[in-house]
Structure formats: structure tokens, C-alpha cells
């Protein structure tokens, strides 16, 4: 049977390639390159092309540090400001009906990452979907990162040069609009789109649910280890932008500096800004969506609580020990007593003893790390689950599974580890090496359970019947582990200790030259 690798999009014809039983199209533009006068502007429509466009290679990763683009040992994905592309992966066999679509948004603290990362390939997920149905269509996207995507520089606009806010978020909306207009040509159903993402990608998901321009662009959402509070106030974003220009050295003409600086200069200024903000306010990052009163009218947590989030079914959850990865990889969370003291002194001093007493062993290292992870990911995700469950079907999970080697490393079920199950790593060479000390069958079993739930949800809008809806009374949560089970109100003492605490999201203090709260 011949497989059609040529597809006509609204912008032009693309030619993909066959990969086993699947077909892939890579590097398809969903917007115009944001370069030259379009740098730091909202995404514009892609320029149509004539003839057949080769779509067999990944597009450029967003401009970033090299470490975020490794695709194999010693090999890195090229980076460029010209990065607004997406990829489509579909079954090779035809389907009589349009297939559900899953759109993945990668993480990386809004400063790192690329859809070309091998983990995000999607092949295992699509092949697994063919076991029970006609399969799904998998889409992955690139979007602008760092200062070029997640720093609000609108205060430097003038009559001859405009800058827009929330550029990375706008890119994600533009990609979803492309899906609505074009995915039918690849066999997908635009009326059954599920967005899912992890870490910053999870934050993108919880933010998109509160972004007016995203209304109607997806039917379901899955937020994995979201940090829903990683959204800047207008006041903080304004101060951070000024600091960024100081680090960049604007010479008195901000617009000119932003137009003429190369990506290396922008990256260095961004690194300095990130370090300065993290030192002042542990757990707060300068790169992320900003409440601009326009594209993102209000803080997402407030939108959920106020009932204005898009009422689509939502899966949301975190991993058992989110914080253990960060002291080893990205040491920026409040994961030690000094930073935890500073965190509460800047937000809610009265909450400190209440919270720390819920973590036996504090101020020991393990307890402190768990406080930092829970503050950033678990606690605000519970807030979203509780509020959203009042308006739409909501399903909560916790991912506890960790093979023996992860426990030996002191990581346990750390941040991002559930992605190995979502994307089916257990059967690969890497997955087999990881489980040489033990846990291979359990890893395969938990992978099957996670993929089955994600695919069922993407297909029908609800997970399998073994997973009950979340509500603020029973708080039933599906725990993925060697024995996957439902728990009522897991870690109840910790949850109660955090009640009423809003962290930086509740702060209204005016920023100064030396303090941003």
C-alpha cells in the first residue's frame, strides 16, 4: 500500500516522509519568521509558497543556550529567531473518520527546549493509539523563548517602533489556529484537539485555558507538572524589562538596542536578569506569561477561581518529588532553608511555621527540597484542579513511579519523569539500561497505564472509568505507581498547611531598583 506523504496546506504543499508505519511532516511554518521588523512583534501569517516544500527535517529551535537543544550525544539542533514551525506525525494507514489530535508544548522554563528533542518524537504514543482505535494525530510546536518570547518590552514602544507582549503565548495560539485550519488535510479532527505540555509547557496549558484568544481552539487539556503561578504581574514585568535593558546596555535608546542586539547579547542579558531575580525572590522567574490586561487579562489562578477559564475537560497533576531535580540541574527553586526563609519573608511570614511543620525532618535537605517542589508545582496545581472542577470535568493525578536507579540517584519520581511514560521510553535501549538494576516490568506497566489514560482522554474527553473526577470534597486522585490506585485527598496534611497561601501571586508591592516582590 502506497502512503501519501504530500499534503496541501492553506499556505502551500508539504512533502513528508514515511517512518515505519507512520508518516511525519517536520518544520512546517505556522507563522512568518519573527525577524527584522517582526522581532518582538505578535506572530504574523506565514508567507505562502509555490511548488512543494520539503518537510522532512526539523525546523530551527528557538534562540537559546546550546544545552537546551541536544538531540544526541554531541549533536545539537540549530537555533534561530526564525523558529515558528510545527511538526505532524500520523499513522500511515487511512482512517474512515477524522482522528483525534494531540498538540504537545515542550517545557524548559520558557528559556530552553525544542520539539526536535528525541523524547518528544511521539512515535510510541501514536503507535500505541493504533492498538485500540484508528489512532491519533500528534503535533509538536516550537515557540519563542527567553527575552524574545517572554519578556514584556512594550514600555519601550514608540511612534516608529512597536513591541508586543506575551509573544511565546501568542505563538502557541497561532500554532493552534494553524491546527484548526489545516489539520483536517492530515486526517485530523479540528473539533477534537487536546493540548498537553509539561513544566513550562504545562504552564502554557493552564495559561491557555485562561487566554481569551485561545477559546475554541482545543477541546481538552492535560497539564503535567504545571507551575500555574509562573505568570508575572504587570508591575514585575515592567521592572524586569528595565533591568534587562540595563544589562543589555541600551545607550539611551532602548528600541535601537533591542533591534540591533544579536541573540548572544540578548541571551547574556537574560541570564544576568534571571540570576538577579532568583536571588531576590526565590522561585520567581522573569520569563513567562505576563498579565498585560489585554492578551492575558488576569492572573490565571484568579481566572480559575473566578470561573472565567475555558470550561474544557482537564487532566492536571504533578510528580511525587518534583523538587529533587533542581539542585542538580537548575538550582533556582526555594529548596534550602535560606531560600525558604526568604520566600516566606517576602510573601506570608505567618505561613512559614505552618508549612514547614507539615514536612517532617525540616530543615533537613529532603524536606526542604520537597517544600520547594510543592510550592512551585503541586500546591498551585491543586488550586487549579479545585477551582476548575466547579465548572468542568477535572481529573487529578500524582506520578509516583521511580525505578531503583532513580532512587539510588536521590531523584525518585522527580520533575519531568512522567514524560518517560507518556512518550513510551521503557521499551527503548535507554529505558532498558535505566532498569538494569530492576523495575523493567513495572516501568512497562506504568507506561501502558499512562498512555492508555492520555489517549482515552484525547479521544473521548474523559479518561478510563477507573479514574474518577476530582472535586474539592473527596479530592480523588489517580496515583501512578507499581500499583496504580485512586487515593482520596493524598498528602492531606501538606495540602491543609498550604491553604490560603498565594505566594508571589498575591503581592502588590511596588517594585524598586533593589527589590522586586
- Residue positions annotated with a catalytic role: 199, 322, 415
* Residue 201 dihedral angles phi and psi, to the nearest 5°: -65, -35
Residue 63 contacts residue 84 (beta carbons within 8 Å): no
Residue 82 contacts residue 60 (beta carbons within 8 Å): yes
Q: Where are the beta strands (DSSP E) in 435-499?
A: 476-480, 485-488
Continuous segment of H or E residues that includes residue 222: strand 220-224
Residue 393 contacts residue 462 (beta carbons within 8 Å): yes
Burial readout 116-152 (b: 16 or more C-beta within 10 A, e: otherwise) = bbebbbbbbbbbbbbeeebbbbbbbbbbbbbbbbbbb
CA contacts within 13 A on the Cβ side of 393: 13
List, in order, residues 6 or more apart from 413 with CB less than 8 Å away.
Answer: 319, 320, 321, 399, 400, 401, 402, 406
Residue with cell 503561578: 229
Which cell goes with 377? 508545582
* Residue 23 dihedral angles phi and psi, to the nearest 5°: -125, 135
Longest dimension (CA), the chain: 68
3-class SS of residue 386: helix
Distances (CA, A) of 387 to 106, 171, 309, 383: 25, 27, 10, 6
For residue 466, what is the DSSP state?
Answer: T
Residue 128 contacts residue 455 (beta carbons within 8 Å): yes
Distances (CA, A) of 334 to 99, 283, 341, 369, 376: 43, 6, 9, 8, 9
Amino acid at each position: 500500500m502506497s502512503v501519501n506523504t504530500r499534503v496541501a496546506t492553506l499556505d502551500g504543499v508539504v512533502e513528508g516522509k514515511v517512518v515505519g508505519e507512520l508518516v511525519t511532516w517536520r518544520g512546517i511554518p505556522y507563522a512568518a519568521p519573527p525577524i527584522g521588523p517582526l522581532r518582538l512583534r505578535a506572530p504574523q501569517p506565514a508567507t505562502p509558497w509555490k511548488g512543494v516544500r520539503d518537510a522532512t527535517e526539523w525546523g530551527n529551535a528557538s534562540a537559546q543556550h546550546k544545552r537546551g537543544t541536544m538531540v544526541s550525544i554531541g549533536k545539537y539542533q540549530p537555533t534561530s529567531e526564525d523558529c515558528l514551525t510545527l511538526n505532524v506525525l500520523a499513522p500511515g494507514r487511512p482512517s474512515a473518520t477524522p482522528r483525534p489530535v494531540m498538540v504537545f508544548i515542550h517545557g524548559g522554563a520558557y528559556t530552553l527546549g525544542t520539539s526536535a528533542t528525541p523524547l518528544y518524537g511521539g512515535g510510541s504514543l501514536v503507535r500505541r493509539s493504533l492498538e485500540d482505535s484508528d489512532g491519533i494525530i500528534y503535533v509538536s510546536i516550537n515557540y519563542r523563548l527567553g527575552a524574545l518570547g517572554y519578556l514584556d518590552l512594550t514600555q519601550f514602544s514608540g511612534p516608529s517602533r512597536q513591541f508586543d507582549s506575551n509573544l511565546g503565548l501568542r505563538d502557541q495560539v497561532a500554532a493552534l489556529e494553524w491546527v484548526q485550519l489545516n489539520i483536517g488535510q492530515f486526517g485530523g479532527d479540528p473539533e477534537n484537539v487536546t493540548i498537553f505540555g509539561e513544566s513550562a509547557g504545562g504552564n502554557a496549558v493552564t495559561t491557555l485555558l485562561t487566554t481569551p484568544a485561545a477559546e475554541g481552539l482545543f477541546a481538552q487539556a492535560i497539564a503535567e507538572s504545571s507551575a500555574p503561578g509562573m505568570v508575572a504581574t504587570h508591575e514585575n514585568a515592567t521592572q524586569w524589562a528595565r533591568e534587562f535593558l540595563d544589562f543589555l546596555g541600551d545607550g539611551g535608546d532602548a528600541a535601537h538596542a533591542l533591534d540591533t542586539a544579536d541573540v548572544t547579547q540578548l541571551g547574556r542579558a537574560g541570564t544576568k536578569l534571571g540570576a538577579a531575580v532568583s536571588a531576590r525572590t526565590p522561585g520567581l522567574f522573569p520569563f513567562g506569561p505576563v498579565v498585560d490586561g489585554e492578551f492575558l487579562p488576569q492572573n490565571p489562578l484568579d481566572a480559575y477561581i473566578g470561573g472565567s477559564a475555558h470550561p474544557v475537560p482537564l487532566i492536571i497533576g504533578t510528580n511525587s518529588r518534583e523538587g529533587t531535580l533542581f539542585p542538580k540541574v537548575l538550582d533556582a527553586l526555594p529548596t534550602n532553608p535560606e531560600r525558604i526563609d526568604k520566600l516566606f519573608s517576602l510573601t506570608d511570614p505567618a505561613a512559614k511555621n505552618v508549612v514547614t511543620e507539615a514536612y517532617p525532618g525540616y530543615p533537613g535537605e529532603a524536606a526542604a527540597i520537597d517544600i520547594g517542589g510543592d510550592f512551585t508545582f503541586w500546591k498551585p496545581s491543586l488550586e487549579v484542579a479545585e477551582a476548575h472542577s466547579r465548572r468542568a470535568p477535572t481529573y487529578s493525578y500524582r506520578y509516583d513511579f521511580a525505578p531503583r536507579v532513580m532512587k539510588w540517584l536521590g531523584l525518585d519520581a522527580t520533575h519531568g519523569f512522567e514524560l518517560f511514560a507518556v512518550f513510551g521510553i521503557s521499551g527503548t535501549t535507554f529505558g532498558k539500561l535505566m532498569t538494569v538494576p530492576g523495575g523493567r516490568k513495572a516501568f512497562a506497566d506504568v507506561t501502558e497505564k499512562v498512555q492508555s489514560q492520555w489517549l482515552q482522554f484525547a479521544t473521548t474527553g474523559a479518561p478510563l472509568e477507573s479514574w474518577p473526577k476530582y472535586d474539592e470534597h473527596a479530592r480523588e486522585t489517580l496515583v501512578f505507581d507499581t500499583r496504580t490506585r485512586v487515593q482520596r485527598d493524598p498528602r492531606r496534611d501538606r495540602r491543609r498547611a498550604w491553604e490560603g497561601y498565594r505566594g508571589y501571586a498575591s503581592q502588590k508591592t511596588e517594585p524598586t531598583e533593589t527589590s522586586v516582590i
